[in-house]
């Protein structure tokens, strides 16, 4: 009976902390097979830090057999411990922390008469002077709970709401930040919310919540009537069923954060169908406008993202740091017109940064989303080998409605320049494919595409070519053949177009020489331009570095490939090209620095591998000693200097 009483304040899935502040989750309650006292009460804890414990939830009995009491969600040889109940901190109530953080109206002043009692500052002459504190009453007025609508209680070990005192003192709160606490129970969360009828914004980041494996109780479903923003990032959620059960409790949800929860690879379709079957009134997340699924392990668009396309109000979707490779393309025809097969008819902002997208067809698919105007796409293999300016130009051109890319505004001029540069780039590329390199088709090999096949392939690879030619054809080439892109002659004339360039020397030997304006063929290569600069500025081509500044607001981008044409590199009429002199000594120092850094990284990696191996050997030796101690003494080994309060 005493053992049962000792455990009555604990439950499975509860969040706890030890005396050193290490946090974990309760996985087991009861006796331990290896303990000397078979009737003693123990709490089995899986630690957030997998190296904090002494075992993995199993013990070695006196008979030499392994007895497993529980398994850890993140298995490891030292992820768990058994502790006596009195060695664990269960957390504190919400109201206890509010009272600690915010001053009561009738609390005594710290500085009566505007002077701290028994507090002095030493003077330069060795004397003491009383410390004055002015404005304490005004500051106190701003620290009253009754005057606040928003409170932040991060990292305060909050685990439950408290009794009716929440309703008495905090019912007016609109926003509560409980990030990094010991909260784990949904019913307790509902109890808090029912006492805060005006609560609209709740942050629960980094509180490992228990799963909701069955639909929520009617009491819980009625707890969050005013809630609109719910942030559950890093809350240990591993099931879409739990997410959808939570959604039923928050009918007015507008923003939901689910970042860094293990939701990838889940059967969303089944959970979605069950959720819809439980409600004939509205579909899941019918009011949701902003959804964060970054870092959740999503791999397949069709199986794990496509279900979200029917959300009628979704305007912002964050899929950052996932494992998505393909985005299905295509359109569907309805009585209302042609629509994207992707769905997402009202989506305005999408974050696909740091995924595994490697095909331009994915961007072409996104271009069909009717309202998408903001995209984040950095860190994908598709643009990894490109310069920043080149990648930005291509992304802007592939998606005609973008007004913001990677957080930066896309101006009208930037779009026009990018689209014209894209037309020239495609012209040069397809001119090469047609044979002869000049777009005229001369010297074409047998087996080349026919004219019709050529046009179809061009449309397939560059679906925006034709509307862009209608818009910019005259300005980038002239003539009917260029304007419509009819055949190889039009493409070739684009590649030979002239561009007005301002050449500026930044080299010490010619920096005083004024800029030189030249009208150059768009097909002129960077290497040929260096020869021209050699003649103009008397600096050998091998000693030059060239940088292109497409417009006054743009940053210069290095022209580091001698074989590429100016138009391929993004040169347009009115651009500036800067010539600098190579610093061979600096380049040698940088090369040596890179090589040194590489050697140091290799050495550090080798040392780290050796350190890990030493730790592994020590751990093996320690476990062997623990086994011997368990067999000899009937219990698992205890750390040096500790009593038998922890197994």
Highest mean pLDDT: which of 102-106, 366-370, 521-525? 366-370
Q: How far apart are CA 268 and CA 275, in angstroms?
A: 10
Residues pairing with 55 in the sheet: 80
Q: b/e for 527-549, b at 16 or more Cβ within 10 A?
A: ebbbebbbeebebebeebbbbbb
Cβ–Cβ < 8 Å for 92, 178 = no
Reported as a pLDDT band with limits 50, 70 and 90, residue 623 is low
Q: b/e for 21-34, b at 16 or more Cβ within 10 A?
A: eebbbbbbbebbbb
| Listed range (129-138, 461-470, 491-500) with the worst mean pLDDT | 491-500
79 to each of 46, 62, 216, how far by Cα in Å?
Answer: 6, 22, 31
| Listed range (238-247, 346-355, 437-446, 531-540) with the worst mean pLDDT | 437-446
Q: Greatest CA span in the chain, whole angstroms? A: 101
- Position 485 pLDDT exceeds 60: no
Reported as a pLDDT band with limits 50, 70 and 90, residue 521 is confident
- Position 480 pLDDT exceeds 80: no
Taking each helix axis as running N to C, give the angle between helix 487-495 and helix 451-461, from 0 to 180 degrees, rounded to the nearest 10: 50
Q: What is the dihedral of CA 587, 590, 594, 596, to 10 degrees?
A: 120
Assigned CATH topology for domain 1-90: SH3 type barrels. (2.30.30)
More confident residue, 487 or 566: 566
- Position 630 pLDDT exceeds 90: no
pLDDT (0 to 100) of residue 639: 36
- List the chain domain ranges: 1-90, 93-108+141-330+342-414, 501-585
- H-state helical runs in 463-580: 465-476, 480-484, 487-495, 526-537
pTM of the model: 0.72
Cβ–Cβ < 8 Å for 465, 458 = yes
- Whether domain 93-108+141-330+342-414 has CATH 3.30.428.10: no
pLDDT (0 to 100) of residue 489: 41
Enumerate helices (H) and strands (E) in the chain, giving the number of each. 18, 28
Reported as a pLDDT band with limits 50, 70 and 90, residue 141 is low
Query: Which SS3 state, helix, strand or coil, does residue 76 take?
Result: coil
Q: What is the mean pLDDT of residues 182-196?
A: 92
Cβ–Cβ < 8 Å for 403, 375 = no
Residues pairing with 351 in the sheet: 318, 376
Token couple for 50: 């997998």
Cβ–Cβ < 8 Å for 619, 76 = no
Nearest to 98 by CA among 160, 159, 151: 151
- H-state helical runs in 387-434: 388-398, 412-433
pLDDT (0 to 100) of residue 622: 61
Q: What is the mean pLDDT of residues 611-640?
A: 54
- Position 158 pLDDT exceeds 80: yes
Cβ–Cβ < 8 Å for 243, 279 = no
| CATH architecture label of 501-585 | Roll (3.10)
Q: What is the mean pLDDT of residues 17-22?
A: 91
Q: How far apart are CA 307 and CA 344, in angstroms?
A: 10
Pairing label, strands 337-340, 316-318: unpaired
- Position 597 pLDDT exceeds 60: yes
637 to each of 20, 36, 285, 586, how far by Cα in Å?
Answer: 20, 12, 51, 59
More confident residue, 505 or 123: 505
Q: How far apart are CA 473 and CA 467, in angstroms?
A: 9
Cβ–Cβ < 8 Å for 540, 518 = no
Token couple for 207: 């509180």
| Listed range (448-452, 521-525, 595-599) with the worst mean pLDDT | 448-452
- Position 330 pLDDT exceeds 80: no
Query: Which SS3 state, helix, strand or coil, does residue 613 take?
Result: helix
pLDDT (0 to 100) of residue 354: 94
Residues pairing with 491 in the sheet: none
Cβ–Cβ < 8 Å for 354, 329 = no
Our measurement of the distance from residue 187's CA atom to the centroid of its chain's CA atoms, rounded to an integer in Å, reads 30
Q: What is the mean pLDDT of residues 296-307?
A: 90
Residues pairing with 333 in the sheet: 338
- Report the percent of the chain where pLDDT is more than 90: 42
Strand order in the sheet with 23-30: 15-17, 23-30, 42-47, 80-83
Cβ–Cβ < 8 Å for 247, 284 = yes
- Position 424 pLDDT exceeds 80: no
Residue-wise pLDDT for 105-121, tens only, equals 666 666 677 777 777 78
Q: How far apart are CA 371 and CA 373, in angstroms?
A: 6
Element (H, E) at 158: strand 158-160
- Concatenating the DSSP letter of every residue in 292-334 gives E-TTS----HHHHTGGGGG-TT--EEE-TT---------EEEE
Residue-wise pLDDT for 454-466, tens only, equals 778 888 888 888 8
Average pLDDT taken over every residue of the chain = 82
Reported as a pLDDT band with limits 50, 70 and 90, residue 373 is very high
Show Cβ contacts of residue 616 under 8 Å, excluding neighbours closer than 6 positions. Answer: none
């Amino acid at each position: 009976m005493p053992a049962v009483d000792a455990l009555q304040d604990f439950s499975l899935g509860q969040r706890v902390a030890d005396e050193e502040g290490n946090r974990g989750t309760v996985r087991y309650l009861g006796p331990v097979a290896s303990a000397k006292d078979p009737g003693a009460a123990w709490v089995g804890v899986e630690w957030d830090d997998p190296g904090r414990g002494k075992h993995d939830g199993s013990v070695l009995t006196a008979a030499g057999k392994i007895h497993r009491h529980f398994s850890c969600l993140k298995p490891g040889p030292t992820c768990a411990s058994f502790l006596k109940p009195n060695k664990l901190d269960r957390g504190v109530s919400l109201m206890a922390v509010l009272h600690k953080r915010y001053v009561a109206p009738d609390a005594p002043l710290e500085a009566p008469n505007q002077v701290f009692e028994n507090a002095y500052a030493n003077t330069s002459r060795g004397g003491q002077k009383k410390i004055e504190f002015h404005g304490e009453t005004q500051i106190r007025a701003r620290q009253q709970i009754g005057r606040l609508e928003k409170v932040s209680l991060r990292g305060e070990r909050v685990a439950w709401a408290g009794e009716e005192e929440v309703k008495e003192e905090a019912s007016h709160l609109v926003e509560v930040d409980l990030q990094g606490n010991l909260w784990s129970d949904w019913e307790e969360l509902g109890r808090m919310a029912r006492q805060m009828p005006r609560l609209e914004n709740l942050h629960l980041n980094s509180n490992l919540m228990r799963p909701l494996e069955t639909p929520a109780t009617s009491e819980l479903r009625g707890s969050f009537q005013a809630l609109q923003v719910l942030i559950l990032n890093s809350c240990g959620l591993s099931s879409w069923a739990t997410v959808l059960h939570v959604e039923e409790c928050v009918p007015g949800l507008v923003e939901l954060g689910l970042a860094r929860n293990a939701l990838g690879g889940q059967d969303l379709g089944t959970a979605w169908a069950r959720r819809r079957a439980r409600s004939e009134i509205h579909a899941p997340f019918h009011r949701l406008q902003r959804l964060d699924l970054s870092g959740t392990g999503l791999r397949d668009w069709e199986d794990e993202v496509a279900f979200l396309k029917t959300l009628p109000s979704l305007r912002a979707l964050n899929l950052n740091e996932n494992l998505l490779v393909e985005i299905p393309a295509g359109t569907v025809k309805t009585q209302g017109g042609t629509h994207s097969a992707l769905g997402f008819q009202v989506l305005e902002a999408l974050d696909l940064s740091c995924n595994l997208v490697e095909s331009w067809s994915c961007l072409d698919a996104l271009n069909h989303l009717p309202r998408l105007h903001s995209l984040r796409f950095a860190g994908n293999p598709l643009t990894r080998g490109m310069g920043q300016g080149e990648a930005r130009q291509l992304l802007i051109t592939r998606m005609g409605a973008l007004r913001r890319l990677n957080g930066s505004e896309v101006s009208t001029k930037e779009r026009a320049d990018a689209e014209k540069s894209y037309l020239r780039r495609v012209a040069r590329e397809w001119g090469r494919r047609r044979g002869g390199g000049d777009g005229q088709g001369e010297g074409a090999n047998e087996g080349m595409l026919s004219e019709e096949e050529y046009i179809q392939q061009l449309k397939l690879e560059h679906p925006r070519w034709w509307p862009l030619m209608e818009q910019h054809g005259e300005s980038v080439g002239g003539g009917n053949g260029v304007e419509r892109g009819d055949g190889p002659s039009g493409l070739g004339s684009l590649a030979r177009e002239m561009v007005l360039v301002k050449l500026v020397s930044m080299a010490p030997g010619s920096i005083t020489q004024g800029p030189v304006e030249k009208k150059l063929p768009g097909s002129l290569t960077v290497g040929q331009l260096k020869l021209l600069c050699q003649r103009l500025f008397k600096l050998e081509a091998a000693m030059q570095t060239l940088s292109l500044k497409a417009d006054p607001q743009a940053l210069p981008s290095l022209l580091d490939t001698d074989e590429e044409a100016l138009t391929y590199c993004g040169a347009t009429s009115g651009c500036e090209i800067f010539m600098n002199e190579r610093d061979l000594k600096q380049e040698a120092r940088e090369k040596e620095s890179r090589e040194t850094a590489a050697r140091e990284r290799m050495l550090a990696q080798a040392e780290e591998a050796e350190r890990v191996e030493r730790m592994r050997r020590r751990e093996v030796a320690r476990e062997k000693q623990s086994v011997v101690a368990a067999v000899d003494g009937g219990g698992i080994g205890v750390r040096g200097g500790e009593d038998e309060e922890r197994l």
